Amino acid sequence: MPQERHLVVIDGRVLWRDSLARNIAADHPGKPILTFESSAEWRRQREETAPPSAILLNIADKKIDDPAIEQDITALASEVAPVPVIVLSDRDDLTQIVKALRCGAKGYIPSSVSVDVCIEAISLSLAGGIFVPASSVFAMRHLFETEGAAERPLAGLFTDRQAEVVEALRRGKANKVIAYELNLRESTVKVHVRNIMKKIKAANRTEVAYKINDLFPDHPSQEPRVTSADDRGSDKRE
């Protein structure tokens, strides 16, 4: 008789992977679950077991920007396709989720969700769906809107003014230049920059440019709106 397909949990931390495996087992009695310290360990033993039904890869607080992590996800997704690879992570920022999906992951579960949500997310992936956090779906809604949003891909994530500041940051413009071109006080520009950094969890303005370019690699930078001297005198209250 063929062996029942099992769920694979890969996590370098013994306590975390054992706790997760027990929680899943409690919700799915009789469901075979195998745990491994790393993808390499799973590969060494994969011939001794039936093919997995899904692979749950916990990258903890590591970033998918790390070439080793990116390669690990991509390799697993390629090796076991169409079996879903689901990424667990301590991070829930948009750039990480998008990168995981680009690597071939069929789900992204942040550690901030409950065990029940985690189990439902696994079930969704097993059924052929793709799970991402609801908060990230709302942030990404501009990617699915048509017409106006297609022309302004930042509109769903930022206000109109913040989007203008983001475009300027992408081109490396200083606050004084941004203030002049957008008809704002320099102090207002600084507030916009702080709010933008907070929204995408960037540590500095350089990281803002990096993250936005990574999210929208094909989005052409637009020339900033240049106002006349008369206009600049009328909009300084913003």
d(CA 236, CA 238): 6
User: Does residue 5 carry a pLDDT above 90?
Assistant: no
pLDDT digits 0-9 by tens, 38-62: 999 999 998 888 889 999 999 999 9
- What's the number of CA atoms in the CB half-sphere (13 Å) around residue 174? 2
User: Does residue 144 carry a pLDDT above 80?
Assistant: no
pLDDT for res 220: 46
Mean pLDDT over each residue of the chain, to the nearest integer? 79
pLDDT for res 141: 55
Note whether 158 and 135 are within 8 A (CB).
no
pLDDT for res 32: 86
Confidence of residue 137 (pLDDT cuts 50, 70, 90): low
pLDDT digits 0-9 by tens, 188-221: 999 999 988 888 888 888 888 877 776 665 444 4
Confidence of residue 36 (pLDDT cuts 50, 70, 90): very high
User: Does residue 129 carry a pLDDT above 60?
Assistant: yes
Q: What is the pTM of this model?
A: 0.59
Closest to 63 measured CA to CA, from 31, 40, 87:
87
Beta strands in the chain (DSSP E): 6-10, 33-36, 52-58, 85-89, 107-110
pLDDT for res 139: 57
DSSP state at residue 147 = T
The 10 Å Cβ neighbour count of residue 115 is: 13
